[in-house]
Amino acid sequence: MGLNMSDVAAFSGLDESTIFRLWDNAEWLDRVSGRSLQSLMSSVPGIAEYSMAHAVRKRRDGLVADLHGEGLTVDLDALQNSAVAQQHLLNALEAGLHIMRGQATQKTSSFIARFWGREQDTALEALYSTEAGRGLLEDPRRLFDSSIDLAPRLNRKTYSFHSILALNILTHQVSKVTGSLEADLGFEVPGRQTAFMMRGVVMGSLISSNDFDLAERYRQELDATPVYAALEEWSFPTYTRDGRISSDFTLPSSLSLRNTATEVLREIAVYNDAYLYYLVSTYIPLALKRDPAFGGKLPELIRALELRGVDCRDRRIRQTCNTLVRRLKGLA
């Protein structure tokens, strides 16, 4: 930058002795104090950008090496070119490391549980993805196996909210990729029959398999079991941060579903017909009971369902869309 030590000291307000100690040290960023770094970032062009890039690169290199030691190879091009924030992707890689090491500890459950959220889920989806150029791992099959192996051991502490949330997240990701209800992830496995666990498996399977009958069975389960409906209603608003994540799976009586509405509109546009049927037959009617204004997006919801419903080949799905649209027009 054409600046000498004296210039940097003058601009940043730091002592020249401080600048001198850092000047020729390749590891200066690990040695500088937080306050001194803030002064340098605010006064010397390029310091802020370098500090950010260095921190991300250092964490990335460590995770890549650790995952390689566990038998997984990170696709660096997919990592670098992803539209998802690098920090979210690195968090996903660290989750993968926890899973591969297979330690069913509270720390592991707590870390994986943090991926309940739209952006975090997108990053974790990239970790499990088998799509070339999108998946963060060149071959994630070992991750699938480790996830299936870890899941029942996480579930031993059924009283732990983080364990319940982490198990849901793992089963959701694996079923989304495999497209089937694996024996180790299905409804018959002891300790896996809670509504939240079932929902994680069903949502992943619906997204990948387009199984209308599965969507209908899930709707019937919710009609017959109030706790299933309560957890279904809780899931979207907490996932989108319209509501706070609560260990008792409750929502406030007054709640605007602004972020939820945006997410549902996105899913109507991108997911398959069976998932659309789940939305129109199961979730949206529940959401309207909580927020009849649907986050102020009723007109957008009507248009989205009219456009999407016309393209559905299954007559049952078209009829369900039409019935819901008529109801929505009565509310608008």
Q: What is the phi-psi region of residue 132: left when phi exceeds 0, alpha when psi lies from -120 to 50, beta otherwise?
A: beta
> In angstroms, how far is CA 301 from the centroid of its own chain?
23
| Crossing angle (nearest 10°) for helices 315-331 and 298-310 | 160
Cβ neighbours of residue 42 closer than 8 Å, sequence gap 6 or more: 12, 48
d(CA 114, CA 169): 9
pTM for the predicted model, two decimal places? 0.85
Contact predicate 213/317, CB 8 Å: no
Say which DSSP state 35 is in.
Answer: H
Contact predicate 206/275, CB 8 Å: yes
d(CA 138, CA 19): 43
d(CA 187, CA 17): 66
Residues 166-202 have pLDDT tens digits of 988 998 898 888 765 444 444 443 333 467 878 888 9
d(CA 71, CA 100): 9
Burial letters for 29-44: b for 16+ Cβ neighbours within 10 Å, e otherwise?
Answer: beebeeebbebbbebb
d(CA 36, CA 7): 15
Q: Measured between alpha carbons, how far is residue 33 from residues 10, 28, 36, 53 in Å?
A: 18, 10, 5, 18
In the three-class reduction of DSSP (H, G, I as helix; E, B as strand; rest coil), residue 135 is classed as coil
d(CA 156, CA 159): 9
> In angstroms, how far is CA 158 from the centroid of its own chain?
22
- The total of other beta-carbon atoms located within 10 Å of residue 133's CB is 10
Burial (0-12, 13-18, 19+ Cβ within 10 Å), 269: exposed
Burial (0-12, 13-18, 19+ Cβ within 10 Å), 185: buried
Question: What are the backbone dihedrals phi and psi of residue 133, each rounded to the nearest 5 degrees, phi first?
Answer: 90, -15
Q: Print pLDDT tens along the chain (332 aa).
A: 788 999 999 999 999 999 999 999 888 998 899 999 999 999 999 999 999 999 999 999 999 999 999 999 999 999 999 999 999 999 999 999 999 999 888 899 999 999 999 999 999 999 999 999 999 999 999 999 999 888 878 766 555 888 888 988 998 898 888 765 444 444 443 333 467 878 888 999 999 889 999 999 999 988 988 888 888 999 999 999 999 998 888 898 889 999 999 999 999 999 999 999 999 999 999 999 999 999 999 999 999 999 999 989 899 999 999 999 999 998 87
Among 212, 222, 163, CA closest to 191: 163
Residues forming beta bridges with residue 74, ordered by sequence position: 137
Contact predicate 332/299, CB 8 Å: yes
How many angstroms separate the most distant Cα atoms in the chain? 78
d(CA 18, CA 85): 34
